[in-house]
A and B are shown apart, each in its own frame.
Chain A
Amino acid sequence: MARFSKRQYQQHVLAAMGVYTALITLAWPLVRITHSVPLKVLLAVATAMPVVYVIAQLVRLIRASDELERFTHLVALSSATAVVCALSLIGGFLSVAGVVKLDGSILIWVYPAMALCYGVVHAWVRRRYGVAMWCEEVSARQYLLISVFGIGLIALALLCPHWLGDQQRGALYGVGVVFIVFGIVLAAVYHYRRKYRDE
């Protein structure tokens, strides 16, 4: 049976991020105007589900990895856990001491903080072992689709100004720019990778 590849992982993650973008833009704003607690719970859980799916796909990728890949994941995840735990402990004590005011919404930043630390350390460890960041599983079509998706989000915000609220339109612009930049970065990596290929 074929191994779950990095390309498949990226496709699953991109699809999940597309669903997440749709939910955060179109469904999440409803949480502020509804008074129904069950509906608030449903919206909150539904919005988080694509991110939970991404985490599950990372677990799947790690399980399908070979020994060197698992080692790089281990170092990156351990470092991310250590950094986020240290920051949350320090933040927690500062909050209890009354130095900073933190409410429960800070929890929403735990995953992004871990993902950022993991990404940085993972890239460093892979370079240390001579592994190209995106290996040969990035394709030109992928970065093109990512940028097109970003352009589509911005076009939606521009063409439907009356249908969307200000917050939704701002979210579409922001996420659209992120996808376009991400697509351009992938394009640069793709061209760099073609020169870096061994053999």
Chain B
Amino acid sequence: MNNHVRELRGERGWSQAELAQKLDVSRQTVNAVETGKYDPSLPLAFKLARLFGVPIEMIFVPGEE
């Protein structure tokens, strides 16, 4: 699944470590989500949406089938 986590994080001037701390996950998890290697769970996706203040659909875009 594609996502815009990196762009949204950059707009707010946060490092991966800072975003990880806000989400209570490891920096490696944030990196894995941003690079598309890992799709987060629903609770984590909702946490991201709440943190960025945008709907989930604006963060995660379904990949091509």
B25 touches A67 (CB 8 A): yes
Task: Kindly report which residue of chain B lies nearest to residue A136, judged by CB atoms.
Answer: B27
Q: Is B32 an interface residue (CB 8 A)?
A: yes
- Of the four ranges (under 10, 10 to 19, 20 to 34, 35 or more), the interface on chain B belongs to 10 to 19
Across the two chains, which residue of chain B brings its CB closest to A132?
B28
**Min distance, Cβ B30 to any Cβ of chain A, angstroms:** 9
Residue A116 lies at the interface, judged by CB distance under 8 Å to chain B: no
Q: Is B31 an interface residue (CB 8 A)?
A: yes
Compute how far the CA of A58 lies from the CA of B32 in the bound complex, rounded to whole angstroms: 23
B24 with A199: CB separation less than 8 A: no
Task: Return chain B residues, CB-CB under 8 Å to A136.
Answer: 27
Q: How far is the CA of A198 from the CA of B28 in the complex (A)?
A: 9
Nearest-neighbor residue (CB-CB) of A6 within chain B: B26
List residues of A (99-143) whose CB comes within 8 Å of B's CBs: 128-132, 135-136
Interface residues of B (CB under 8 A from A): 15-17, 24-29, 31-32, 35, 37-38, 40-41, 44
25 contacts between A and B (CB under 8 A): A65-B26, A66-B26, A66-B29, A67-B29, A67-B40, A68-B25, A68-B28, A68-B29, A69-B26, A69-B28, A128-B37, A129-B32, A129-B38, A130-B28, A130-B31, A130-B32, A130-B35, A130-B37, A130-B38, A131-B28, A131-B31, A131-B32, A135-B27, A135-B28, A198-B31
Binding site for B on A (CB under 8 A): 65-69, 128-132, 135-136, 198-199
